[in-house]
């Protein structure tokens, strides 16, 4: 009887493990982030790196994209977008508050939609 119960527990644990979403430790994510200049670039990348689990963050002014490599076991793209929005820059899914946007230097105040 003990062997049967043990076998059932092991089978159940196996099914539970398979049902969990596999998280990538080197996930590549691109996020649209509004900005204008090198000062914006430094601010956006600094905000991204402030999130634990961000391995690489590069913002490009020409395509307005933040290219990330993140450890999904430690953070999500949404965590990064929230940090960037707190720094005053709108992302495609999370908008900066008016206060954060207004605190940006005048050359960094991009056209908001």
Q: Which two tokens stand for residue 95?
A: 């908008």
Q: Where are the domains of the chain?
A: 22-108
Secondary structure, 3-state, 9-24: HHHHHHHHHHHCCCCC
Architecture, CATH, for domain 22-108: 2-Layer Sandwich (3.30)
Residue 88 reports pLDDT greater than 50: yes
- In the predicted model, what is the mean pLDDT of residues 32-49? 96
pLDDT given for residue 22 in this prediction? 77
- pLDDT, one tens digit per residue, over 55-85 is 999 999 999 999 999 999 999 999 999 999 9
Residue 1 reports pLDDT greater than 80: no
Residue 2 reports pLDDT greater than 60: yes
Q: What separation in angstroms does the CA of 99 have from each of 67, 79, 106, 111?
A: 26, 20, 14, 15
- In the predicted model, what is the mean pLDDT of residues 2-14? 64
């Amino acid at each position: 009887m003990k062997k049967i119960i043990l076998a059932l527990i092991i089978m159940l644990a196996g099914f539970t493990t398979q049902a969990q979403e596999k998280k990538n430790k080197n996930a590549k994510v691109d996020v649209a982030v509004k900005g204008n200049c090198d000062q914006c670039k430094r601010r956006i990348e600094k905000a991204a790196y402030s999130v634990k689990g961000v391995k690489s963050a590069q913002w490009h002014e020409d395509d307005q994209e933040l290219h990330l490599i993140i450890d999904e076991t430690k953070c999500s793209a949404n965590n990064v977008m929230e940090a960037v929005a707190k720094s005053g820059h709108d992302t495609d899914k999370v908008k900066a508050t008016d206060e954060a946007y207004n605190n940006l230097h005048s050359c960094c105040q991009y056209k908001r939609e």
